[in-house]
Chain A
Amino acid sequence: MEDSCALPAAAVACIDERQDSIQTAGTSRTRIHCADDSLAGSVSQRACVFCGARVVLNPVTDAVHLVHGPIGCATYTMDIRGSLSSGSELFRNSFSTDMKERDVIFGGEKKLAACIDEVVEKYCPPAVFVYATCVSGMIGDDIIAVCKAASARHNIDVIPVESSGFISGNKVVGYRAAAEALLRLIRPKDGEVIEKTRKINFLGEYNLGGEKWLAERYLREIGVEINVAFTGDSTVAALKRAPSACLNLVQCTGSMHWVAQNLERTFGTPYMDVNFFGPENTAESLRKIAAFFDDTAITERTEALISREMTRIRPTIEKYRSRLRGKRAAIYVGGAYKAIAIIRQLRGLGMEIVLTGTQTGKQDEYESMGRILSEGTVIIDDANPAELEKFLVEKKVDVMIGGVKERVLAYKLGIGFVDHNHDRKDGLAGFDGSVRFAREVYVTTCSPVWQSLKTALPGGSVHGQ
């Protein structure tokens, strides 16, 4: 059947200006162009500042999250994060001031104040986060003032989040806005004395699929208690106790490093990088934490845990490795941190990585990536569907790891897919998570459906559309 693609052959995959954002490991001499605004019209996979702020703050379980703007921003992010809660489910509700034309013309501050009053009356939350959006930012609604007045009125924290989508094309700015809001929340009252405990905070952990709970079980086993995660399964009260922690773990870049630095500066809390994705990373992180406490009992228990878990999962990982060896993988995720962890895990399964990219990677992160990837791997920043398609096909990819928008593209091309995104239901961290990850890679890469998809139609004609 004739190729009935609607495009003439001259359509290009890569816009000229995008060339500097695409490199090949081992051959490129120049630095990759990254951490910049997306090109207009390029159909970037990135979202906006509001997106960044929302995903970081939304898991705060017992706060009201109120979006100040027209309806869309709230609808599109309603219950969108896979964070699980051990208590309040208030965070799963999506609140919006639903600005209409008259609010845009005459200002939305009165409406915002009324909305805050309504939610406080109905839910008595310990805190309200108020997210700015493009329009509320544009018309100059003084969200800070409204929040301050509401806070005084209700005697709770009402925290503005400066998350207007247009502030920047990079959602990392949104992470920063969220971080500032969190610091505001946990700032102790004047004269309040912070007594240090032996508990630790886990920054950059969102409890997707229960991953925070899993980390907590490991830590409890070795003798360390978590005070709170930023922000998975967190409560306002626990967040406010954050300054009392003796150590901050930082996983995932975004702006959690900035928060950690701030906490160190203000409260003297040291921080360390950890990563619980992949068995080796998990073991290394646990050892680092144990080393910090410098306690023989903790160290012994840590080694026992690692030894036990590694032994337990090894046969299963081996089983999957034997089926996956040599298969070709592509990675396109939000941040470089995750990408690097995934590279390591896929290597552990004997797979070849032929394409790696991120939405928000920074210069030094791409350099680290370039060093650990084999020569010839394509490295891409802020990709769009046309580019992803081109490389997925060229590089004969068997499986892709990415987010929702990438998934449908992979399936259209008959390529397997692993969901490593914001609303996943399965925990992929820790030792159990690494088995789950390996299994997911296996079931999709080796699924019988791909064979069916390549089979000719009965009657001998070529399969087509």
Chain B
Amino acid sequence: MASEAAVPSPAQARVKQVNENQCNMCMPIGGVVAFKGIENAMVLVHGSQGCSTYMRLANVEHFNEPVDIASSSLNEKQTIHGGEANLKKAMDNVIRVYQPKVLGILTTCLAETMGEDIDRIVASYIVERKITGIDIIPVPTPSYSGTHTEGFWAAARGIVAYYARSTESHRCINVIIPNISPADIREIKRILGLMGIEYTLLPDFSMTLDRPFGGKYQKIPTGGTTVKEIAEMPGAPMTIQFGTTCPDSLSPGLFLQQEYNVPLVNLPLPIGLENTDLLIGTLSKITGNALPEELALERGWLLDGMADSHKYNADGRPVVYGEPELVYAFSSACAENGAMPLVIASGSKTSHLAELLAPLIRNADEQPVLLEESDFAAIEEAARGAQANIAIGHSGGKSLSERHDIPLVRMGYPIHDRIGGQRILSAGYRGTLAFLDRFTNTLLEHKYATYRQKIKEELCISEGI
């Protein structure tokens, strides 16, 4: 384990005060995505209408699905007298139109600044309206306390805490995921299935936020983790959580361990050979099963692909940015292919990322610049300084392409300037190879488009004939 001295300290997280070109969104939208992973759930954001509408816009552009988020539409009047009446009216209308079984109530910076006590308001609402059959779950998500990553974890933990109860032991392991693409969720589920694992995966938005065409619009899309499954999570033999960067106070897996003694294993996302091996190894130990043929083939193909492309990848000088869990996994995937990232950045302020990266970058020829609580102005500057030639991250970083000619391999959230954000597959052996191909081919495309001219300029002209 790396000693204290060896842990790289992140570059002064923005000595400057202004945030220029944001790398992250605010807390509630993360909570929205988490709630959309619960069956029969609808979500209501307590605050100004703009918050809900902008969050819908961001989600709509990413998932290309209708994503309904209700608002309590707070106005000036309510900021003075309190938002209780509006919130209750909003709940009335949401319940009438959407008929959810689960209703998540998230807060905005406005509601939190007003000091709204949503626990109390919800409790009194349930009594007043004699609500039965609907679980109303309040989760505070003040936008000034974290990014959408923290909002996602907070909601996931809030949901688990709401439903978990002492229950008989059973064989379903808990699998808790961060904000990854529906394609990655489906791949993880496929792997679990192939390894013979019975599981409860939370929050499962792989279907609710990615519906096949059916000629109809579902107010509450089919799919999601069931309430019954969540309630029985305390009876699981263990929890696998892809939350190595998740703060303890927000960790649903840690909650289950502390309250119900369910052993927690935090793993990195299964993106990259080593990280996928880690998951498979963990699963293997649970069932005693070896790697099934299908996965063994996929692993073999990945290894083959890594060999085939290793020289091209060695030319890669990546910038990796986005949510911490993804940033770690993709950095690892790059490093194991000989393309050590030169800039690693996140909008979150997590205490773990630097620590986790330490062993990875210890022997790097060029030490990467680590940026936390960052913005794209800082990322761009670091990228330029490091002469990065490829970037991996979400659409917010398109300025890297536009201004610095650094091509972007898109992953993460949000993807709003390309189609198919929800279908980006990077998990498992299959997904890792798919990512690797995208990465290598991006380098090649760029190289082939420019190398003739470049070499001519470098060598031909300087001869001075």
Residues from chain A with Cβ under 8 Å of B464 in the complex: none
The CA of A336 and the CA of B69, in the complex, are separated in Å by 25
B169 within 8 A of A: no
Residues of B near A69 (CB, < 8 A) are 109
Alpha-carbon separation in the docked complex, A78 to B57 (Å) = 12
Q: Which of B16, B49, B64 has a CB less than 8 Å from the CB of A47? A: B49
Restricting to B56-83, which residues have a CB under 8 Å from any CB of A?
56-58, 60-61, 64-66, 68-76, 78-79
Bound together, the chains give a CA A46 to CA B56 distance in angstroms of 11
Query: Inside 8 A of B185's CB, which chain A residues have their CB?
Result: none
Q: What are the residues of chain B within 8 A of A414 when measuring CB–CB?
A: 213, 215
Picked from B44, B48, B53, B97, the residue with its CB within 8 Å of the CB of A11 is B97
A169 near B65: Cβ-Cβ < 8 Å: no
CA distance A45 to B86 in the complex (A): 18
Q: Is B158 an interface residue (CB 8 A)?
A: no
Q: Would you call A139 an interface residue if the criterion is a C-beta within 8 Å of the partner chain's C-beta atoms?
A: yes
Expressed in whole angstroms, the Cα–Cα distance for A165 and B337 within the complex equals 48
How far, in angstroms, from A13 to B90 measured CA to CA in the complex? 15
**Which residues of the partner chain A approach B70 to less than 8 Å between Cβ atoms?**
41-43
Interface string of B178-203 (1 = CB under 8 A from A): 00000000000000000000000000
A8 to B49: give the CA distance in the assembly, Å: 28
Instruction: Check if A72 sits within 8 Å of B99, measured CB to CB.
Output: no
* B351 contacts A by Cβ under 8 Å: no
Residue of B nearest to A44 (CB): B49
Judge whether A96 and B19 touch: CB under 8 Å: yes
Interface string of A14-31 (1 = CB under 8 A from B): 010000000000000000
Query: Are A464 and B214 in contact, CB atoms less than 8 angstroms apart?
Result: yes
Cβ–Cβ contact A15 & B49, under 8 A? no
- How many A residues touch the partner, as a band? 35 or more
Chain A's closest residue to B403 (CB) is A89
Let me know if A291 is at the binding interface, CB within 8 A.
Answer: no
CA A76 – CA B214 in complex, angstroms?
Answer: 30
Contact assessment for B50 and A94 in the assembled complex, using a CB-CB cutoff below 8 Å:
no
Are A47 and B53 interface neighbours, CB within 8 A? yes
Which residues of A sit under 8 angstroms from B282, Cβ to Cβ?
A: none
Contact present for A71 and B24 (CB under 8 Å): yes
Cα of A40 to Cα of B69 in the assembled complex, Å: 11
A46 & B49 in contact (Cβ 8 Å cutoff): yes
A6 lies within 8 A of B54 (CB)? no
Asked if residues A453 and B215 are in contact (CB atoms below 8 Å), the reply is yes
**B454 interfacial by beta-carbon distance below 8 Å:** no
Given A51-B50, A165-B110, A408-B66: A389 and B217 within 8 A (CB)? Answer: yes
Q: Which residues of A contact B289 (CB under 8 A)?
A: none
User: Contact string, A92-107, partner B, CB cutoff 8 A, digits 1/0?
Assistant: 0111111111011000
A to B CB contacts below 8 Å, 21 in the list: A15-B96, A40-B71, A44-B71, A51-B53, A69-B109, A71-B24, A72-B26, A75-B24, A118-B16, A134-B47, A138-B79, A165-B48, A166-B76, A167-B76, A168-B76, A169-B73, A385-B68, A385-B217, A412-B216, A454-B215, A463-B215
Given contacts A40-B72, A76-B54, A94-B20, 10 further A-B contacts (CB under 8 A): A5-B218, A40-B86, A43-B70, A44-B73, A48-B53, A69-B109, A111-B17, A134-B113, A165-B110, A453-B213
